[in-house]
Amino acid sequence: MKNEIKTPFLAADAVILFQNGIVLIRRDNPPYQGCFALPGGFVEIGETVEDAAVREAREETGLAIDLLGLVGIYSDPGRDPRGHVVSAAYLSRGTGKLVSGSDARSAEVVPLDNLPGLAFDHDRIVRDALLLAERLGGMHQIKVE
For residue 102, what pLDDT is reported?
Answer: 84
Query: How many CB atoms sit inside 10 A of residue 89's CB?
Result: 27
Averaged pLDDT for residues 92-114: 94
Residue 44 structural domain: 9-141
**pLDDT at residue 90 is higher than 80:** yes
Predicted confidence at residue 142, as pLDDT, reads: 65
Please check whether residue 35 lies inside any domain of the structure. Answer: yes
Instruction: Tell me the pLDDT tens digit for each residue of 42-82.
Output: 999 999 999 999 999 999 999 999 999 999 999 999 999 99
Per DSSP, helices labelled H in 3-89 are 49-61
| Cβ neighbours of 78 (radius 10 Å) | 8
pLDDT at 130: 96
Whether 19 has a pLDDT exceeding 80, the answer reads: yes
pLDDT of residue 34: 96
* Whether the predicted pLDDT of 139 surpasses 80: no
Alpha helices in the chain (DSSP H): 49-61, 122-135
Span 14-27, mean pLDDT? 96
In a domain, 1, yes or no: no
The answer to whether the CB of 70 falls within 8 A of the CB of 27 is no
Question: 129 in a domain, yes or no?
Answer: yes
The confidence score (pLDDT) of residue 103 equals 84
Residue 134 belongs to domain with CATH number: 3.90.79.10
* Whole-prediction pTM: 0.93
Check pLDDT > 80 for residue 145.
no
Number of structural domains found in the chain = 1
User: Is 4 within a domain?
Assistant: no
DSSP bridge partners of 42: 11
Q: How confident is the model at residue 35 (pLDDT cuts 50, 70, 90)?
A: very high
| Residue 62 and residue 100 in contact, taking contact as beta carbons nearer than 8 Å | yes
Q: Is 32 domain-assigned?
A: yes
